Structure 1
Amino acid sequence: MRLKSMLAAGLCAALFHTGPAFAAEDSVTAAKALLQAMRYDEIIAQTMQQMEATMQQQMEQQLWQNLPNCAETPDCKSKVGTFLQQMMKTQQAYFHSPETRKLMNEVQVQALSKNFSVAEIREMSAFYQTPTGSKMLRLMPKITAEIGPVLMKDIGQRLMPELKQQMDEFARRNDVR
């Protein structure tokens, strides 16, 4: 009888210690199922395309701002064009790499399982399987594409001049050129 009590106590202790691991694993499993319901791979692909286009615009704009007289010289303009193409290839390789996609997926699973309960993750999964949830997923890249350029324009008009002024002031005060 004493042996049975000790075995039962040991089993309970083992289950108690592994309980959080089972719960964590369950939330990871639920998060992975949610990402499948959301067609997360498609969302990543669309998001990456938008990020590429935005970054390309930003890099090109920044490069021409840093080289204002270059556009007037055909040789310089050609070299910058070639350099921009090289940068775009590097950027595309990053965004299209399996490692980047895997990282985004893993980080998303971790964030979901850390910030939501299993029940909440399952509720979200159920929502995304409804017609409204499906429509939201289908339209989210379009909505994001509408927001992105407006925000980037505002950043260029309001934030960048202020940051440039601060950098210029810092350089002037610290005699940095």
Structure 2
Amino acid sequence: MRLKSMLAAGLCAALFHAGPALAAEDSVAAAKALLQSMRYDEMIVQSMQQMESTMQQQMEQQLWQTLPDCAETPDCKSKASALLQQVLKTQQDYFRSPETRKLMNEMQVQALSKNFSVAEIHEMNAFYQTPTGSKMLRLMPKIMAETGPLLMKDMGQRLLPKLKQQMDEFARQHSAR
């Protein structure tokens, strides 16, 4: 009888300590199921493809701001354009690579399972199964493509000049010494 009591106590202790690990496992599994329902990988690929042209325009603008005289010299302009194409290809290769998509997926699973309960993740999953949730998933890349350029434009007008001013001030203060 004593052996049964000890085994029962040991089993209870093991289950008590395993509880959080099992809950975390359930949370991770629920998060993975949610991302699958959301077609997360497809959504990321679509979003990046739609943003590439905007990113290209921003990079070109930054390049010509950095090298204003270069645009007037054919040889320099040609080399800068080639560099820009190389940089864009490197960027595309990174964001389109299976390794990056896998990493983004894993980070998303960890963030979801850390910040939401299993029940909340199931609720989100149920929402994405509805017609409205499905529509949201389908249109999200388009919405991001519409809002992304506006945000980048605003950043170029309001944020970047402030950052440049701060960096110029820092450089001025530290180069005088």
1:173 deviation in Å?
Answer: 2.1
- 1:68 is paired with a residue of what secondary structure? coil
Mapping of 1:43-58 within 5 angstroms? 43-58=43-58
- 2:11 is paired with a residue of what secondary structure? helix
82-91 vs 50-59, which moves further: 50-59
2:4 and 2:172 map into 1 onto residues whose CA distance is 80
Structure 1 residue 157 and structure 2 residue 157: aligned? Answer: yes
Q: TM-score, normalised by structure 1?
A: 0.94
Q: Which residue of 2 aligns with 1:40?
A: 40
1:23 and 1:173 map into 2 onto residues whose CA distance is 54
- 1:53 is paired with a residue of what secondary structure? helix
1:169 deviation in Å?
Answer: 2.0
1:104 and 1:134 map into 2 onto residues whose CA distance is 21
1:174 deviation in Å?
Answer: 2.0
> Partner letter of residue 132 of structure 2?
T
CA deviations over 1:98-131 (Å, ceiling 9, x no partner): 1100000000000000000000000000000000
Structure 1 residue 81 and structure 2 residue 78: aligned? Answer: no
1:124 and 1:132 map into 2 onto residues whose CA distance is 12
Cα RMSD (Å) = 1.3
> Partner letter of residue 121 of structure 1?
I
> Partner letter of residue 166 of structure 1?
Q
Mapping of 1:45-124 within 5 angstroms? 45-124=45-124
2:154 and 2:3 map into 1 onto residues whose CA distance is 73
> Partner letter of residue 110 of structure 1?
Q
1:108 and 1:51 map into 2 onto residues whose CA distance is 20
Structure 1 unaligned spans of 5+: none
Structure 1 residue 23 and structure 2 residue 36: aligned? Answer: no
1:12 and 1:112 map into 2 onto residues whose CA distance is 29
Q: TM-score, normalised by structure 2?
A: 0.94
2:135 and 2:106 map into 1 onto residues whose CA distance is 25
Count of residue correspondences: 176
User: Percent identity, aligned pairs only?
Assistant: 82
- 2:68 is paired with a residue of what secondary structure? coil
40-49 vs 163-172, which moves further: 163-172
1:21 and 1:171 map into 2 onto residues whose CA distance is 51
**Is the Cα–Cα contact under 8 Å of residues 31 and 121 in structure 2 kept in the other structure?**
yes
Structure 1 residue 166 and structure 2 residue 172: aligned? Answer: no
CA deviations over 1:125-150 (Å, ceiling 9, x no partner): 00000001011111111111111111
